[in-house]
């Protein structure tokens, strides 16, 4: 009867080892999935950041163009004021 118990103990140990292996595989799969999700989120954030930088650059270029237009208009108004003054004297 003693040898029967030895086989059951060995079988129980193998069963426990299989359950442990299965548990470790499950945890590993969870971690890999979690890391994958984090990488996707990080990638989206980086792309969003680069898009923001692109939009800021475009806005800065537009502001420079507007500033040039304003300076040109200011110069034209100054010249028109001078012409108006000369016409008033005549």
The per-residue pLDDT for range 56-75, each reduced to its tens digit, is: 889 999 998 999 999 999 99
Give the pLDDT confidence score for residue 80 in this predicted structure. 94
Give the pLDDT confidence score for residue 43 in this predicted structure. 87
Q: Is 90 helix (H, G, I), strand (E, B) or coil?
A: coil
33, 43, 49, 83 from 46: Cα distances, Å? 20, 5, 5, 56
Token duo for residue 21: 């292996």
Delimit the domains of the chain by residue range. Answer: 1-49, 51-89
Kindly give the parts of the chain with pLDDT less than 70: 1-12
Give the pLDDT confidence score for residue 29 in this predicted structure. 87
């Amino acid at each position: 009867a003693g040898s029967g118990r030895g086989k059951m103990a060995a079988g129980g140990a193998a069963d426990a080892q299989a359950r442990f292996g299965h548990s470790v595989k499950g945890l590993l799969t969870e971690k890999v999935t979690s890391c994958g999700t984090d990488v996707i989120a990080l990638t989206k954030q980086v792309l969003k950041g680069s898009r923001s930088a692109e939009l800021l650059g475009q806005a800065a270029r537009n502001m420079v163009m507007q500033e040039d237009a304003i300076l040109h208009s200011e110069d034209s108004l100054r010249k028109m004021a001078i012409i108006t003054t000369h016409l008033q004297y005549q």
